[in-house]
Amino acid sequence: MERKPVLCPCCGSRLIDESVTTECNTYEIERNKQKLADFYVKCWKCKKDIAIVMTSKN
Ligand SMILES: [Zn+2]
């Protein structure tokens, strides 16, 4: 299974891996609290709360 890393938008650290057919956007929750995301993860490095939004899936 091929995977690609999803990077933290704040510090560029790898948060999770996604499959190569998945596309997603990431943003810092602090900056866009109203927006609904699919996943939420805390960056292990900069400790910021990051939201992940799936944009397409095959
Ligand atoms: Zn980070």
| 33-49 tens-digit pLDDT | 888 999 999 999 999 99
Q: Contact, 13 vs 42, CB < 8 A?
A: no
For residue 6, how many C-alpha atoms fall within 13 Å in the half-sphere facing its CB?
23
Could you report the per-residue pLDDT of 1-58, keeping only the tens digit for each? 899 999 999 999 999 999 999 999 999 999 888 889 999 999 999 999 999 999 975 5
Is residue 56 classed as helix, strand or coil in its secondary structure? strand
Phi, psi of 10 (to 5 degrees): -90, -50
Residue the block writes with tokens 């900056």: 31
User: What was the pLDDT predicted at 58?
Assistant: 55
Q: How far is the CA of 29 from the centre of ligand 1 (A)?
A: 12
Strand partners, 42: 49
Q: How far is the CA of 7 from the centre of ligand 1 (A)?
A: 8
Domain segments of the chain: what residues? 3-57
